Every structure is written in C-alpha cells, then in structure tokens.
Amino acid sequence: MAERRPKEADEALAEPANDKKPAAPPAPWQSYKEIVAQLAARIVDAQRPIRVLQSLRWSDTVEEHFLRGRQRELPKIDASYYEKVDVGYEPRAKVEEFEAIARDIEHALGEGDAIGRVMLTTALEYRDVVHLLGARGTPAFHAWSRKLYGSPKDKFPDGRSTVRGLGQLLYGLLTGVDEWSTSTDASKGDYARSVDATDAARQLGERLAGFFGDTRVRVDADDGILADAAAGSDYVKVRTGARFSPRDIDILEVHEGWVHVATSLNGQAQPVAKWLAKGPPRTTAVQEGLAALLEMFTFRTYPRRARRLNDRVLAVDKAEDGASFLDVFEWFRTEGYDESECFNNTRRIFRGGVLSGGAPFTKDACYCKGIVLNYAFIRSAIQHARVDLIPFLFVGKVAQEDVPVLANRVADGVVKPPRYLPPMFRDLNGLAIWMAYSTFFSQLGGDAIADHYAKLFNQ
C-alpha cells in the first residue's frame, strides 16, 4: 500500500498553472532594535566558549617545581605546553564566525551607524582574542596583547605622559607611604588577615545582598581560582585557603561587587544592546580603573595594595624590555614580597608569553592606566556640563568612547540606563565637588605651598 502524502505536499509538488515560478515570500519587516538585538546576540553567543585566563593557566605543579629548584631555572612553559591546553573551540572556524558577524553588521547597519561601529569593533576584537590565544608561548602573543590591552609605553591623551612614567612616579611616592604605614603597625586590626575564605564569603555575600536587593549574587569559596577573588556574571568567588583582613572584605565589596558584578548585571538587563553583558579587552581599562577608583572614593584602599597594582605595571615594562621570568621574580623579591607572591605576580605577567623575556602579557598595565583615564573622563564630564554621561560607565562592559553613543540611544530604547550604581554615582553632587576642588588643588602654587608647610614640619 502506497504511503499517503499530506495534502500540502501534493499541492507543493503540483506545477503552477502558468510558466512563472511563485515569488518567494518577502522577508519579514524588522525594526532597527530587532536587527541590533539579533546581531548583538550573535556576538554574545560566539564569544561564549572563549576563556582567556583559563586558556593561559599553568598547572599547580609549575610553582612547586620552580620553588623546589630554588628559583634558578625558568619554568618549562612554551608553545608546546600551551598546545596541550584546549581552548574549547576550533580557532579558524571561530575567526571566520566573528568576521561573518562583522560583515553582517556592516551590511545591516551601514558604516555610518554609531551603534554598528561599537558592535563591529567588539566583534573584530573578539576575533583578535582568538589570534592572541593561538599565539601562546610565542613572540606574536605579545604583539596581540599590546594591540588588545595596550602597553606601559602607551601615551595618555596629552601625547606626552606614559603609563610607565606614571608607574615610576608612583613607585617613589607609594614606597614612602608604604614604609610609613608599616611603621604604624598597619598589619594589625583591620589589616590583619584573620578571616578565612568561608567566613569572608559569608560576610561579602551579606553586604552584596544589601546592595543588589532582590537580585541574588552568589559568593562562594572556590579552590579553582588563582587570584584571591574573582567576579563573574552574577557571582564572586574567593580562593579557598586564602585569608582576608576586614579591610580586604571592604575592598572586595566595592571592587568585585559594585563594579564588576554590577556592570555585568546592568549589561545582562539590556534587551537590545546585549553585547554589553560581556567584556572584550577594550573594556578592561574602564572596568579595572573604575574598580580601583571606587576603592579610593570610599577610602577603602591602602598603600600596600596600591603599590601592588603599580608594581605590576613596572614589572610588565621590565618584561617588555627583555627581563626574564627569573629577573622579574627576583625584582618582586627585592620589593619585599614573599616567594609565593613573587611567583604569582610574575606568572600573571608571563602567562601566555615568552619566559625568556621581551614578550609578556600586558593586561596588568590596564589598572593604573584605567584609574587615570576614568578620573579624567569623570572630571571632564563635570567641567563640560555632561554629568549625564558618567553613570553610563556602569551600563555594562564599555570603553570610554562608547559612552556618548550609548547615552544617546536611551530615548529610543536601544539602551537601558544602568540600574545598579554605587552611591556616589547615584547622587553625583559630592563627586562634582570633589572634582571641582581637585582641579583647583592641581593648580595651587606648585611646590611653593608644599615648601611653606615643610618649614613647619622641620621646626
């Protein structure tokens, strides 16, 4: 018995009454916001398997062997080592995927569309991240790293000052302050690392619950991270085995919670500008600079921590100039770090790069660079009556040049204003006064006033 086809199939197989083929149905009409949302979703989906730090991770045994060998031999980390570390995707196919998205953005939105330019830049940067990870253990890794994250040799917008120049200036200032802090027994009280990871996670979770309200943010102790703490899309992890001071918990609240988690959640809440939920390298300076600035604005940071961030900039600069893993490790030791800190700091700089020198991972240069650029952005926005732009630093994972573009698209619903903002960014009056006086202080008398008070100090 012959199988009976559905009536619709018979009708589809029948020849039309005339010689003309039936016209294809017209493409459904789409709004601008639909087009942007679909392209943004493709960027988010395409970047999902890319895990930069996970792809650069070293085995725990590397530190053990290095320290057991009395720090005399370079760790055996090279291109062949990274070939065994699976990145989780097929690189060539992933490059082609991002390039296809970029072409579709240009085709759908045109070269003159500002939102399209932000998405195009983002898609192509993720493509370059794939190239970066494909070059692990080779000099080319450093070239991609400089393109994506910058370098201590980079100049600030004044065209003269450099990131490493700032680092060298701060080195002298922070070393003096750090010595004063130690002499006042700052290792005790709020600075004593008396809290274990489990209790630190509990305390931090309680604080973040108050900040985020009905949105749950998980805080857990985890033995799978290298840093003492790390933030994700809706969580913070603290490293099992690490110990924290009350001041450390204060810092984690604003650094990981108010900035990293808050910008992730604000980005995830975007129904159209979905790419803002994820942070390509171009957003790193804003993210890390904001986090460090929040530590300062809330008076939670302290000299030793500021010095650690600055020392990493100087170490990246040394490695770019040819210092080896052994050289940088020894430099950290001369700066007073213990052996484990020396190793972890040096590993941050050489992961993915060439351990003999000249080709490091430059991401750690973003911290100090971001502090300066974010401070300057906020100050300029206040001076030029564009305070409305400042909260959009928190709208998701953004680069500074994105901010005016995103703020301009709130009225038509392409972008939603950020929900989660630190207190001083919800009410900007105090910050405006801070910046106004800082402008005056920076122009006040130079060394003459300092010398005036120095005479009092020396009486």
Residues 408 and 445 in one domain: no
User: Count of CB atoms within 10 A of residue 417's CB?
Assistant: 15
Residues 243 and 364 in one domain: yes
* pTM for this entry: 0.89
Residues 403 and 444 in one domain: no
Q: Is 354 helix (H, G, I), strand (E, B) or coil?
A: strand
Q: How far is CA 76 from CA 47, 73, 81, 82, in A?
A: 30, 9, 8, 11
Q: Which residue range is the domain that position 283 belongs to?
A: 150-423
Query: pLDDT tens across 209-221, in order?
Result: 999 999 999 999 9
Q: How many domains does the chain have?
A: 2
- The tokens describing 99, both together, are 């390039």
Residues 447 and 381 in one domain: no
Query: pLDDT tens across 393-451, in order?
Result: 999 999 999 999 999 999 999 999 999 999 999 999 999 998 888 878 777 766 787 78
Residues 234 and 318 in one domain: yes
Residue 84 domain-assigned? no
Residue 401 domain-assigned? yes
Q: Identify any residues that bridge with 243 across adjacent strands, giving them in sequence order.
A: 196
Residues 458 and 365 in one domain: no
Residues 391 and 453 in one domain: no
- Which one, of 436, 408, 392, 175, lies nearest residue 304 by Cα? 175
Residue 139 domain-assigned? no
Residues 388 and 246 in one domain: yes
Backbone φ and ψ for 323, nearest 5 degrees, come out as -65, 140
Residues 252 and 354 in one domain: yes
Residue 130 domain-assigned? no
Q: What is the pLDDT of residue 14?
A: 40
Residue 129 domain-assigned? no
Residue 403 domain-assigned? yes
Residue 195 domain-assigned? yes
pLDDT one digit per residue (tens) for the chain, 459 residues: 343 434 433 433 344 444 455 555 666 889 999 999 999 999 999 999 999 999 999 998 999 999 888 888 999 999 999 999 999 999 999 999 999 999 999 999 998 999 999 999 999 999 999 999 999 999 999 999 999 999 999 999 999 999 999 999 999 988 878 656 655 455 567 888 899 999 999 999 999 999 999 999 999 999 888 789 999 999 999 999 999 999 999 999 999 999 999 999 999 999 999 999 999 999 999 999 999 999 999 999 999 899 999 999 999 999 999 999 999 999 999 999 999 899 999 999 999 999 999 999 999 999 999 999 999 999 999 999 999 999 999 999 999 999 999 999 999 999 999 999 999 999 999 999 988 888 787 777 667 877 888 888 887
Residue 444 domain-assigned? yes
Give 302's contacts (C-beta < 8 A, 6+ positions apart).
181, 186, 191, 247
Residues 367 and 458 in one domain: no
Residues 248 and 391 in one domain: yes
Residues 224 and 372 in one domain: yes
Q: Look at the block and give the residue holding tokens 């922070």.
A: 174
Q: What is the pLDDT of residue 232?
A: 93
